[in-house]
Amino acid sequence: IANKLYLYDVIKESNINRGLNKFGYGGFYELVKNGVDDNLYHKRLLEYTKEDFGELEKYIKEERDELLSYNGLIMLTERYCVRGHNKEVLEKPQEAFLRVAMYLALNEKDEDRLDYAKKFYDVLSELKMTVATPMMSNSGKPHNQLSSCFINVAEDSLESIFNTNTIFANVSKYGGGQGLYIGKVRAKGSDIGGFKDVGGGTVPWIR
C-alpha cells in the first residue's frame, strides 16, 4: 500500500512539473530534449530520433514499478531519477531504467541500437540485474561518469596527502567509489626533519 501511494505521488508530481495533462507515463522525448538544454541530460541521447524515442516509450512496462519494494522505490526516485535544479521530480522509475539502457546501447550499430536498448531495459526493469551507482546515477546525464572504483596512493609528504584529498573530492563529486593505499605515510611517533616522535600518523587524516 505504501509503495502504491508513494508511486502515485511520484508520477503525479512528475507530470505536474513537466506540464503533462495526464496521469501515467508519456512525454519522455520532450523531457530529454528540454533536459539537454537545461544541462540535465547528455546531448548524446538525442542521437536517437524522435521516432526511436516513441518506439522505446511504447515499450515501457509501467507495471514493473510494482516489482520494486517500498525502500527500493524511494532509493530509485530520490538518488537516481533525474530531478530539476530545484530538486523537483521529473523522471519516473521506468524512465530512469530506459535512460540507462538507451545510453548503454548508444555505441551499438544503428540497426541494432533499439534492440539492445530494449534488452538492457528489460533486464534492468525486471530487476534481473542492476548496475553500479555511478552507472545508474550518471548514464545519460551531462557528466556521464560510469566508473565505480578509483585507487590512489598517498606518498609520505604533505603535498601528496593534500593533493590526494583534492583528487578524491573530485572523484566523489561525480559518484566514483574510492580506495586509498596509505602504507607509505609514516607512522605515528615517527621522526620528521630530524625531530623525534613528532609524526601524527595516518588516523587523524583518515578521520
pLDDT number for residue 9: 95
Quickly state the pLDDT bin for 111 (edges 50, 70, 90). Answer: very high
The cell numbers describing 90, all together, are 521529473
C-alpha to C-alpha distances, 22 to 28, 63, 81, 170, nearest whole angstrom? 13, 17, 20, 40
Q: Rounded to two decimals, what is the model's pTM?
A: 0.81
Residue 164, Cβ neighbours under 10 Å: how many?
19
Whether the pLDDT of residue 158 is over 90: the answer is no
What average pLDDT does this structure show over 52-68?
96
The span from the CA of 96 to the CA of 81, in Å, is 6
Q: What percent of the chain has pLDDT over 70?
A: 100
Residues 61, 117, 22, 69, CA torsion sign: positive
Name the more confident of 144 and 38: 38
Mean per-residue pLDDT of the chain: 91
The span from the CA of 189 to the CA of 201, in Å, is 7
pLDDT number for residue 180: 86
What average pLDDT does this structure show over 167-185?
84
End-to-end CA distance of the chain: 42
